Amino acid sequence: MTSDVVENEFEFYSKAEKYWKDVPATVDGMLGGYGHISSIDINSSRKFLQRFLRDGPNRTGTTRALDCGAGIGRITKRLLLPLFKTVDMVDVTEDFLTKAKSYLGEEGRRVRNYFCCGLQDFSPEPNSYDVIWIQWVIGHLTDNHLSDFLKRCRAGLRPNGIVVIKDNMAQEGVIMDDVDSSVCRDLDVVRKIIRRAGLHLLAEERQENFPDEIYHVYTFAMR
């Protein structure tokens, strides 16, 4: 549990904000020096997501998506804007959202809102999103804040909408990273938090073809 490794909640959040303020507003900066894996990541995410967007009685819509921890808009640009009519972005670092406006180019006109906010304080508009995409950011929330945020995401979904988490998974327990002030949880801990938020797991997949030296990355779809 994060309560075992996060001694001071205020410090945990403020240290993370300070860390990201010093990170370059580039794809490489967003990916901690692993910019070269971006295409592998996006292609896998697209395949994962498209299984829910296919025709069928419970098909997830393609009207509006929310990119959480969006940074400069790497996922918005390459994954969400090609599939959804409009996208909203939320990130705690204002400089990243400012950069997004040029990085996204012409298609960026379909980004309706740029919310500058930490996810612990953010509430998606109820009944508004077909997909809420949360990637490489849950480690910046305590367990209680993550569970509460996921509950608000659940309320933010349109009919047949899904919440997707894609993130690093520890082998066992919860590991603290003092450099960027984040935690990495194991699969069991993440599944428990998802259940606690009242969400039902629809699919779970391990990312393939990532470098051996980084954490295993998993994608979860839920509603």
| Structure token pair of residue 98 | 């400012």
Residue the block writes with tokens 């999103």: 129
- Residue 71 in 3-state DSSP? coil
CA-to-CA dists, residue 128 to 17, 39, 125, 152, angstroms = 28, 28, 6, 12
The continuous run of DSSP H or E covering 171 comes out as none
Spatial distance between the Cα atoms of 218 and 165, rounded to a whole number of angstroms: 8
Q: Where are the alpha helices (DSSP H) in 27-156?
A: 27-30, 38-53, 74-75, 94-103, 143-156
Report the Cα 143 to chain-centroid distance in Å: 15
What are the beta bridge partners of residue 134?
68, 165
Total Cβ atoms within 10 A of residue 171? 10
Binding-site annotation: residue ranges for S-adenosyl-L-methionine: 69, 74, 91-93, 119-120, 135
Helices 143-156, 187-196: inter-axial angle, 10-degree rounding: 50
Binding-site annotation: residue ranges: 69, 74, 91-93, 119-120, 135
